[in-house]
């Protein structure tokens, strides 16, 4: 067993190193490979371990590995960049489902001498895994537009009552184990339903936070399953995922200037959001030629990507425009808001796909410090993260949220298809400001036109 313990330690170290490298765009790709190697080693070690206990079943294991590998490979190859958040939610849900399956198997094997602590741990894994599973499915539906927001005045109270019911049933089963034979299935059903009702009222603009929270829950469920199985890699891996997911959730809440409780029970977003009313003024339209002239003879240009860039698949066109401007002496950077897009790091992944230099990616604080020296800020599909209402409108639902302060730059050009509101449903006064000009059209086609205009000015 000593050599197996050593392999588990190596696997854990690889997971930790991989996770650490995921904290930077420059090392994230290698970090992902390192973590994958660590997980692969852990799987192989777990396959060897049952031999010593003489109850290995390699046929089922290999079939499961083959099916999972094929599904993962096909989905990863076919998924569009705009669908990455949905895929993350779906895969995260499968992690919760695994914890549910493990827990139900263990519950069915409980004996009379099993400890109360072991029973409580198993049911916690069942509950948290069930919530992560169905909650992730709802998050997937919201991100893909298949599930609409639902919220009423009693939704928060209903969720609290449902949560109390879940915990009460589990406490009863821990104390009176086996008294009611079908109670584990009721607990499973209640947990799955709570996952639906927990995520359903949360607005679409808060989905990045919800994805991070559900990821943390899946990590906790995996750690609990590791305790149930006595598997050190499951335990440590679950702790790593749970803790990192929790830290990321807290950081994203800070980036939105909101508490996690506010996101869960009082969030804005989607159809539930309140929009700013009143006459906002008129917009000033511009042309690709005028915008290209501004950018060509600017000293500093900042591109602000948002979900609209992902939808239009405009990241590579932006990189080409960046290249053309840089060759002509213009300093080009990208301002990345922590919650831009539909998942944590969405814009970083998007721009990495287009081989944008990591040095050009500026986080919120660095970008805001550079805007006073920026001649042109080009907004591509971003909305809520550039809304100045967060800075100067106490009546706005996003008041106090740290945003990219574009109005400190000299000129702002916003690329949009039309005047629709952002994911939060809140009107954006930036579009009507004196410094702002609107360039309507498909983002990819518009950026390609800008690039052609810049090239023609040689």
Structure tokens at 359: 């040095």
Distance (Å) of CA 216 to CA 62, 222, 223, 294: 28, 10, 11, 45
Best CA proximity match to 300, nearest among 410, 384, 218 = 410
Best CA proximity match to 304, nearest among 374, 241, 227 = 374
Q: Which of 384, 393, 442, 452 is catalytic?
A: 384
Cβ–Cβ under 8 Å, residues 140 and 89:
yes
Beta strands in 1-98 (DSSP E): none
Structure tokens at 309: 């860039």
Structure tokens at 314: 């405009």
Instruction: Respond yes or no: is residue 384 known to be catalytic.
Output: yes
Please provide the distance, in angstroms rounded to a whole number, between the alpha carbons at the two ends of the chain: 70
Task: Name the strand (E) or helix (H) holding 84.
Answer: helix 84-108
Distance (Å) of CA 304 to CA 207, 322, 411: 20, 12, 13
Cβ–Cβ under 8 Å, residues 422 and 428:
yes
What is the sign, positive or negative, of the torsion defined by CA atoms of 226, 232, 235, 237? Answer: negative
Distance (Å) of CA 124 to CA 103, 158, 174, 269: 9, 21, 10, 31
Q: Catalytic residue numbers?
A: 384
């Amino acid at each position: 067993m000593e050599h197996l313990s050593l392999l588990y330690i190596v696997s854990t170290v690889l997971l930790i190193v991989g996770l650490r490298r995921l904290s930077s765009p420059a090392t994230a790709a290698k970090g992902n490979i390192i973590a994958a190697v660590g997980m692969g080693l852990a799987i192989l070690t777990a396959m060897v371990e049952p031999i010593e206990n003489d109850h290995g079943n390699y046929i089922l294991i290999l079939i499961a590995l083959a099916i999972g590998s094929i599904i993962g490979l096909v989905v990863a190859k076919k998924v569009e960049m705009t669908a990455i958040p949905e895929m993350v939610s779906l895969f995260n849900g499968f992690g919760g489902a695994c914890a549910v399956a493990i827990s139900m198997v263990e519950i069915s094997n409980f004996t009379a001498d099993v400890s109360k602590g072991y029973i409580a741990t198993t049911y916690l894994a069942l509950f948290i895994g069930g919530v992560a599973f169905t909650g992730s499915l709802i998050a997937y539906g919201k991100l893909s537009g298949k599930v609409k927001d639902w919220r009423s005045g009693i939704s928060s109270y209903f969720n609290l009552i449902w949560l109390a019911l879940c915990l009460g049933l589990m406490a009863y089963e821990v104390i009176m184990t086996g008294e009611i034979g079908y109670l584990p299935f009721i607990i499973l059903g209640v947990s799955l339903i709570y996952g639906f009702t927990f995520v359903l009222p949360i607005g679409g603009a808060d989905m990045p936070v919800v994805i991070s929270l559900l990821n943390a829950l899946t990590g906790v469920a995996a750690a609990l399953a590791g305790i149930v199985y006595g598997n050190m890699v499951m335990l440590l891996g679950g702790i790593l995922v749970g803790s990192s997911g929790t830290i990321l959730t807290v950081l994203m809440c800070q980036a939105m200037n909101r508490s996690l409780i506010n996101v869960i029970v009082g969030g804005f977003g989607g159809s539930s959001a309140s929009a700013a009313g009143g006459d906002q003024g008129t917009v000033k339209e511009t042309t690709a030629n005028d915008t290209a002239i501004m950018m060509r003879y600017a000293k500093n240009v900042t591109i602000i990507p948002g979900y609209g860039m992902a939808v239009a698949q405009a990241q590579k066109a932006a990189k080409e425009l960046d290249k053309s401007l840089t060759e002509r002496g213009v300093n080009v950077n990208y301002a990345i808001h922590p919650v831009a897009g539909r998942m944590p790091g969405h814009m970083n992944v998007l721009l990495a796909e287009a081989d944008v230099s990591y040095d050009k990616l500026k986080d919120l604080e660095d970008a805001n410090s550079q805007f006073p020296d920026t001649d042109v800020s080009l907004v591509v599909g971003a909305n809520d993260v550039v809304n100045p209402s967060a800075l100067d409108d106490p009546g706005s639902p996003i008041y106090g949220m740290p945003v990219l302060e574009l109005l400190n730059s000299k000129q702002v050009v916003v690329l949009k298809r039309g005047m629709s509101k952002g994911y939060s449903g809140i009107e954006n006064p930036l579009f009507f400001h004196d410094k702002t000009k609107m360039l309507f059209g498909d983002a990819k086609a518009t950026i390609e036109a800008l690039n052609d205009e810049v090239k023609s000015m040689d």
